[in-house]
Each structure stands twice: as structure tokens, then as C-alpha cells.
Amino acid sequence: MLNPFSREGEGSLNVTGSSTASADPLDDPNFDPIDYINKKFPNEQSLSKIDHFIGELQEEVKSLDQQILVAVRKQATSSADTQRDLADVQTAIQELFDRIMRMKKKAAESENLVQEICRDIKCLDYGKKNLTTTITALKRLVMLVTALDQLRDAAANRHYRETANLILAIEELSLHFKDLIGVPKIAELLSQKATIFRELQKQLMEDFDTLLDTSQETCPCLPEAAAAVDAMTPDVRRDIVTSFCLRILEPYKKLFQPPEEASTLEMVERRYSWLNRTLREYDDKYASVFPETWAVSCALCEHFCHITRQHLVEVLGACHHTVDPTVLVRVLHKSIEVEEKLAKKFQNTTTDTGLNPFSPSAAGSESQMPPSLQYPDLLADAAKKRADGSVSRTVPRFKGIISECFEAYLGSWVRYEETQLIDSVSRATANDSIIGESDPSMASIRRGASFDRHDGDEEESDMPKYIFSSASEIFSAFKACLRRTTAISTHQTLFDIFQVFKRVLKRYADILTGRITKKVAPLTDEAARTIGSVIGTAEYCDSTLPALSSAIVRTIDEAFTSKVNFDPERDIMWNLKTGAVQSLVTSFETQLEPSFAKMTKTNWVALQEVGDQSSYVTEVGEVMTTQFPLVRANLSLTYYRFFGDKFAQWVVPKFISSIYACKKIGELGAQQLLLDSYSLKTLLLEVPVLAAEGKPVPAGYAKYVIREIGRAETLLKILSSSVEDVESLKTLLEGQGAVATQEEITRILSLKAGAADAAQAAAATDTGSATHPQPRVGAALQSFTVGGLTSGASHMLTQIQPHISQMPLQVPSFNFGGLHAGGSGSAGASAAPSPSVTSSVGILNTTTGASGSTVGERVGQPPSISTTASPPTAALSAGLPGSPQWPRNEAASSSDSEAPQQPQRPAMGRLFGDFQSLGQRLGGQATQDVKKLIGKFTDRDRGAGRPP
């Protein structure tokens, strides 16, 4: 029956009681009557069936009313049945509750009855338990008294097998009376037990002493006595074994006790021979007396080692200053060899602290209780508990038991090894030879003293070109010395040898430092080869030291691992490499100083024209092109680049400081120096690449050169401008995006040549000190008449006339290397400086792009920023504030994207090209007039002896 209150009943229960949802649209909860009527009667023709449709609806309504009536009747009937069933259920629950209550009552009555019945039984049970405990205690007391009497008689008669059983029984019984020590009778019995045990121990010691006492007959019952010893405490057996071993070693102590003749280090082998003979004698005479589990031979060797160690400490303390180190090490090796043999011989030996005579492993035991004891069943549990009661103890540590005493006295041997290593260094350096990368022995040298180093993982650029053969020999000596040291010590002595390695490396570094040639100019192939070998050897040592350190750390004691490192020595090798590279740079400094001195002595004010690069730049280029390949041939790529960084760090600041060292610099002089700066930059960027067979320079190097040469370019552009006062210079600097202090501005202005300096230079030129005079552009234009030109040309000249007076100031802004002036670009758009160049002069910084990175970084970590060397086109094309912008000559527009070339035409020719281009734009007769104007300028140039 469907629950009408369930969520499923909602919307699914129809009037007929069916649970199936109807497909009739009238049953839809979202029924829309308008939409329903429109579907039934979509047009006027369908209205003819409306009466029939209404009749169907009325019949359906009647049917639904009938169904509702039937459902209501059924619901009324089912409600009465439900009330009746509920009443029946309630009655049944009440009856069940009454039955449960009756059962609980009967259970409580039964429990009370059981307790009354068992109360007497519990009392009887307690009484039985107490009685049984009392009887057991009395039995044990009787057994203890009997066992003590029997033990006294058995010990007196030396019946040691029975004695062993009685000892264990007494020990077990005594445990039950330890809580009753306050009872006088029990305390008396325990006191008797202790007395009997002491007497028995003394008797056993005397019996075992007869083994080595020639005046007495050996006790025949010693094998059985061993069982009695095992039954007693472990201290008894230890005392017996120790006494036996010390009595055997008495002759040894007398023979080798210092200062006896046989106690010297040279006689140490006799000590170990004596031990071998004694062990063979023990096996022949006494091994059958002592149980194997006693390990008497192991204890004998242990006592021998302790005595020998004590003797050697006394001997070493007296003679370690004078003893021959080779003898000391030989004795140490022999001691280590004996220790290893003893450790191997007794590695599987174990000893028991007690043997249960009731077990089958007891000597002569048949697993029986003492036959005379009453109530043997009381000891059955004890026998089971002690069946596996033997406790093993480990073998003594033989390794180091003797040799460790040498640790404090190996100082003389360490000094001896240091002397040997120093001698090896002296011999190796005296007969030193240079090994090149093509030499077949180079590969073996890289692996010979590598100490697990994997050279195959290194890049080719890190491989040294040349090394000294002494480096391989020294590290081979280190390896052999380390092998010898680890064979005798892994503690303080090994750490002392590590300190010796450090001192020897320092001495070797001093020898290599002395081979660095100072101020060789020009650099010879021999000097370059020697310096390259020093660098390669230092790099070889630097890369091998970590592997040597790891080899020591893996072996040395943990207490010293944190102290083992060669960082100071690696720093020494790094400084050695840096000093060798600096010596190469010093050689170049010596050769280039005269060139830069020539630069500072040149009269840059009297310069009349700008031509090719200056002679001092040519000299710099000759030195670089001839000697950079020599440096590259002797250095690995990494250190060749490092040398390039150091050289650039010297030559660029030297060039800038030489500019400041000049007395005065005129406009043409500044232009010539600007051209020289580009030539110098080209040399610094191209010569290292050519010497390295096309391998590009690092990005950091290129960025440094461009940035620092840019400083010189900025300074020279300022010097070539027309400004001569502080305010104008500040305005110019602001236009360049630069910042300068007042002191720097004053220094720049003092370097700039004024009008008086120019007149003085011109006068010196007129007296014949200069070559052909060169008229200035402004004067030429002002002296040229404009008569006869057409109106178009006149209009053109009228437009440019205001700039004629400014032409002398604009000529310096032209690129004399075949490029246009600052205004040759369209609307000055191309006049912006290259965004990758950063220029500064002093602390005067002009930032036009990203800042450069530091040159001279540690080798192997070049900067990752890529920088492309930009020609000084932008710097020269930028012009200066206030410069007029001239139209571009279309015929030469492609030159902006090319690298600057040597001057092909004078700047005047370029200027005429611009005028001609302007005339072509005016067209017609104006073009002809401009040609006439240009022709007159050309004739004037030819008359002066200059090319058009």
C-alpha cells in the first residue's frame, strides 16, 4: 500500500489509487488551460467538434467523482482496522514486560541461594591453600638443611659432580627464603651456605693451581670441578681463569719487562713468537682440562695484549724522541697484524657465565636430580627454568688493543713523512717539465692522483692546456702517504698527515709563484708557456683537492671529519691563478704604456682634420693582434676569457684616464678621439674572438666593454659640442640623461678648448707647424655669393641662411666615418642612442638601457645576459641639443644599418650631398642653381688642394 504521506506519493497517487503517473495533460501539475485549448482547436474549422469535446470532459468528470467516492470509503474502513491492530500490539508488549520482571526476580533468588551454598566451600579452599603453602615451605626448609649437609660432605671428599648439583639446588631453595631473612633459623642457614661456598671456592682455586705447580700432583678430578665452578657465580670462574692466565704469563713478564734487554722495540717480534709457542703448549697440555665454553685461550691472549701494551707504553715513553721512525712503523704494522689474526681466530668464540648441571650439556651429567634430596618434584620447575640459563659474553676487542698505544708517539714518524714529501717536492720541481694537452701522458696525469675523480664529466674549456709534471708526482706521493697512514691510524696521526699535506701544498704554491715572470714585454712564447703552465697546474691542484679531502674524510675518525678541508689551500691556488693572469695583463700594460703616453702628449687642439684612427690606436691593435693568440694558445678557454676580462678592466679605464690627462681637447680633436674610441671598442670585441678561433666573448665581457667605452663616447661628445659655460653644459647633460657633480662639470670645462685655444692653435698652424689649411664650412658658405640663382634656389638659400652662422657648431656632430650628421635621419627619429649602451664619465652616468654586469667574475660563472656590441652610429648620429636637422641623402640611407667604416669622403662632400638632395626636391631650375652652388664649392676645394 502506498504511503500517502511519502514524497513519492505526491504527484504520483491518482484518484484511482494507482501509483503510475498518468500521461494525460490534464494531470500535469503545470497544466496551462489556454495552451491546451489552442492545441485542441488550432483553427476555426476545428470548432465544429467542440460539443463532442465538452461531452467527453463531462463524462471524465463523472468518472473522477466516482473514483474519489470509492477512495474515501476505503480510507474510512482502513482507519478502523489500524486502530484495532495498534491496541493488540500494546497489549502484547505489556504481557512481555510482566514476564521479564518475573524472570529477574527468580534470578536474584537463585544467586542468593548459590552464595549461601558456596560460602563454606570458599573458607575450606582458603584453608587448603594456606596449609599447602606451609607444607611446601617446610619441605623446602628440610631440603635446604639436608642439601647444606650433603654439600659440606661432598666438597670435603671432592665429589664435584654431586657438588655441582647440590650447589644449584641450594641456590634455588635459597631464593624462596629471601623474604624470611628476619627469622633467626633462616638467617643461620643462609650464613652457613655463604661459609660453605667460600670454602668450596678456595678449594677449587687450589685444585686448579696444581696444574702449574710442579711441586704438587695435579688434581685428577679437575674436569668434574669445572662443572662445580659453572654452578657457582660467574666471578668464581673468572677468578680461576685469570689466575691461571697470569701464572702462565709470569715468565713473559720477567723476560720482556722494561728495561730488560728483550723489551726494546726491535725485539717486539720475539714477544709475538712467545705468544704463539704458549698457545701451542696450552693446546697440548691444558685444553682438555678446561671446558671449551670457558675460552681460556682467548682470555690468555687478552691478558698478553694488555701486558704487552703496558710494556710498549713504557718503552715508547722513554725512546720515542730517538727511535728510528721506520722501526716504529714496522713494530706498529706487526702489532696490527697480530691483532687482526687474534680477532679472526676468536671471532666466533662465546663463553657462558654458568652451566646447568641438570641439562645434558653438563660434563658427565645424566640430567638427574640429587638422589639424596627429599621432595625432588619441588625442584623440577627450577631445572626447567635453568635448562637454558647460560648467558653468553662477547669476545674482547682485539683490534687496536695494542696498536692504539702508538697513537701518541707517532709524531716522529709524521715528521719523517713530512721530510720525505718535501724532498719529493724538491726533486719533482728540480726536474720539472711541461706537459701539453696533446701529450699522451696528460690523460693519465688527470686520472693518476684523482682520488676517485671523474675527469670525463668536465667540459673541454676547463681542461688546462699545459701543466708541470711535478703536480702529478706530488699528488701521487700524497696518495701513497695516505695509504700508509690509514694502514696504521685513522685518528690523530691521520689528521697530522692531513696538516702535513697542507704545509707541503703551501710550499709548492710558493715555488709556482716564483716561476711567474714579472713584466715581460713583449710577451715571449716561453714566458707565456710558463705562465700558462702555472695556471694549468694551479687549476689541476684546485680541482684535485676536493677528492683528496673526501678520501681522508671517508677514513678518518668522526671526531676529526669537521676539521678536514682544503679551503685555505684552494684559495691559495686561486690567488696563484689570479696572479699569473695579472702578470700577463702587466706584460700588456708595459707594452701599451708608451702608446697611451703618446695619446696624452698629442695636441688635440691644433688638429686640422679628422682622418683614420690615430697612431696610438694602431699600436694598441698591433700588440693585441700579435699577442692575444699567444695567450690563447697557452690558456684554457675559461682562463683565456678571465684574462680578457682583466685586460679590458685595465685598458678601458686607461683610455678614459688618458683623455683626462690631455691638456686641452678641441672640437676636431674630440671627433678624432671619438673615432679612436670606436676603433678601440672594435679591437676589444673582435680580437679576442679571432684569437679564440671564432668562439664568442662572454656576454658580461661585451656588456662591460660597451658600457665603459660608452662613458668615453659621452665625454667626447660633450667635448665636441659648442657649450662652454656651466649652465649650457648642465642643459646638455640633461638632454643626454646624465648626472654630474659640480666638480666633474668643472673638470670637463677645463679640458674643453675655448676660442683662445683655437686661435692659438690656428696661429701655430699658419707658421707652418700644420699641413694644408682646412676652411671651415660656415666661412665657406658666408663667403659664397648667391647672385644669378633662380628664385627657387634663392628661396632655398633663404631658408637655410639662418643656419649658416651655426654651421661651425654643427660640423662636429657629423659622423666622419661615412655617416650623416645628427640631422640626416628623418625628423631626427633615428638620432636616439642605442638602447643597449650605458655611458658615463667619472661618476657622470648616462643611462640609455639596462645596466651592465660586472666583468671579472669568478671563472666558470659568466653572466647570462646577452649583449651585442653596437657601433657608435647612434652616439654620433644623435647630435647635440640645439643642432639643426638636415634632410637625409637618399643615396646613402642604407649606411645607418652598417658598421662604421674608415672615412671615404670629407664631411663637406656629405653636406653637399644633402644640399643636392634638397635641390632635387625643389625641382626645375632650382636644381640647376644648386648644382652651380655645389660646383663653386668643389672648385674652391680643388684650389685648396683637397678632394671634392
- 935-946 confidence digits (pLDDT tens): 554 454 444 444
Q: Looking at residue 400, what DSSP letter applies?
A: T
pLDDT band at residue 452 under the 50/70/90 scheme: very low
- pLDDT > 50? residue 218: yes
Q: Is 721 exposed, middle or buried (0-12, 13-18, 19+ CB in 10 A)?
A: buried
Closest CA to 226 of 141, 286, 302, 179: 286
- Over the chain, what is the mean pLDDT? 74
763-813: per-residue pLDDT in tens? 554 444 333 333 333 333 333 333 333 334 444 444 444 444 344 333 333
- 477-500 pLDDT tens trace: 999 999 999 988 888 999 999 999
pLDDT tens-digit map of 89-139: 888 899 899 999 999 989 988 888 888 888 888 888 888 899 988 888 888
Q: Supply the pTM of this predicted model.
A: 0.59
Query: For residue 87, what pLDDT band results from cuts at 50, 70 and 90?
Result: confident
Are 932 and 789 in contact by the 8 Å Cβ rule? The answer is yes
Mean pLDDT is lowest, of 206-210, 358-362, 504-508, for: 358-362
Report which of residues 463 and 824 the model is more confident about: 463
Distance CA 550, CA 558 (A): 13
Residue 848 has pLDDT above 50, yes or no: no
Q: Is 24 helix (H, G, I), strand (E, B) or coil?
A: coil
Q: Which amino acid is at 418?
A: E
What string of DSSP letters covers 521-566? SSPPHHHHHHHHHHHHHHHHHHHHHHHHHHHHHHHS-GGGGGG---
- Give residue-wise pLDDT tens across range 515-539: 987 766 788 889 999 999 999 999 9
Q: What is the DSSP string of 593-655?
A: HHHHHHHHHS-BSS-----S--HHHHHHHHHHHHHHHHHHHHS-HHHHHHHHHHHHHHHHHHH
Q: Which of 219-223, 584-588, 728-732, 839-843 has the lowest mean pLDDT?
A: 839-843
CA angle 471, 477, 482 (to 5 degrees): 125
CA distance 770 to 609: 11
What was the pLDDT predicted at 597? 93
Q: What is the rounded CA–CA span in Å between residue 732 and residue 720? A: 12
pLDDT interval class at 377 (50, 70, 90): low
pLDDT of residue 305 exceeding 70: yes
Q: How many CB atoms lie within 10 A of CB 36?
A: 13
Average pLDDT over residues 625-642: 92
pLDDT of residue 144: 87
| pLDDT value of residue 359 | 41
The answer to whether residue 543 scores a pLDDT higher than 80 is yes
State the pLDDT confidence band at 833, using cuts at 50, 70 and 90: very low
For range 268-279, the mean pLDDT: 92
Percent above pLDDT 70 for the chain? 68
Which residue has cell 685595465?
A: 650
Proportion of the chain above pLDDT 90, given as a percent: 29
